[in-house]
Amino acid sequence: MVMLKRDMECPYRLAAIDLDGTLFDHDKTVSAENLAALRRLEAAGIEVVIATGRHRSRIRGALAHLPHTRWAITSQGAAVLDLDADQVVDAIYLADEETRMLMELGDELGFTPLIYDDIDVRATRHDAGTDLYARIVGGMPSLLTMDELSAPRAHKVVWVGAAEDVSRLPSHPVVRELALYHVQSLPGMYEFLPPDVTKGAGVAALAKRLGVSAAEVVAFGDADNDIPMFEWAGASFAMPHGTPGSIAAAKSVASEGPPGSAFARAVEALRLD
């Protein structure tokens, strides 16, 4: 087990940071203010951890700004990565029949379903939905082979479609009956995972591995998929431009100002100096 050192002057040992809308601005860049905030966390001896819904293959842009970051929680908490070893240390998957059901149901309801497996984000076809995904996250999903379709091994399934259609999914009677964790992560994207898989569960699993308590974790995010992480961590900050649910769930909210530096304002509120 890897144990993090304790700085007796700082109450936090681990910072779990969402990417899209938190560390990344709307144009997928990281502002100078947010970069400086990352350096402040590192200087205070706090382990920086990516906590994202993105697939592990879609976080390279973030890693360019985080050369000292060892750990990442990806696929909405379904995979915990040791970046130094380039190794998945904890992974949870949907049952194959659940994956196939979600792919078929997404098609039936007019969405483009995507599978997040161990290697990449995959689709059965390229269409307007995969184009939208590429614009939102970056990079076109790869196509599933017939063998992969027959025995899918997915961390999660994502439905991509028009933002207004996706926003209605939480109240859809069929979706409400599913015994799975499901959440809107971004406008136009709705996600399905095993029932106990969330960002909060992923952060908790990593914290246990590192010998860190919930009270020693601070979380930063802006969306409904960050709510379980906010509820588990001892301290949490929602971005002021975040969803109403994330703002209500967070223990603190960053001060108002430009969205691209909201994360930096949240770190400033920790008073690490």
pLDDT in tens, 98-116: 999 999 999 999 999 999 9
User: Rounded distance, CA 103 to CA 115, Å?
Assistant: 8
User: Rounded distance, CA 166 to CA 118, Å?
Assistant: 25
User: Rounded distance, CA 228 to CA 264, Å?
Assistant: 22
C-beta separation of 142 from 121 below 8 A? yes
Query: Which residues make Cβ contacts (< 8 Å) with residue 147, sequence separation at least 6?
Result: none
pLDDT of residue 148: 77
User: Rounded distance, CA 207 to CA 21, Å?
Assistant: 24
Cβ count near 186 (within 10 Å): 20
What residue ranges of the chain have pLDDT lower than 50? 1, 3
Alpha helices in 44-155 (DSSP H): 60-63, 96-108, 128-136, 146-150
Tally the residues of the chain.
273
pLDDT in tens, 64-82: 888 889 999 999 999 999 9
CATH code for the part of the protein at 14-92+197-269: 3.40.50.1000
Q: Which residues pair with 238 in a beta bridge?
A: 221, 253
* Cα four-point dihedral sign 242, 244, 246, 252: positive
pLDDT of residue 3: 47
Domain ranges in the chain are: 14-92+197-269, 96-193
User: In the CATH hierarchy, which top-level class contains the domain 96-193?
Assistant: alpha beta
pLDDT of residue 147: 75
pLDDT of residue 273: 72
C-beta separation of 240 from 253 below 8 A? yes
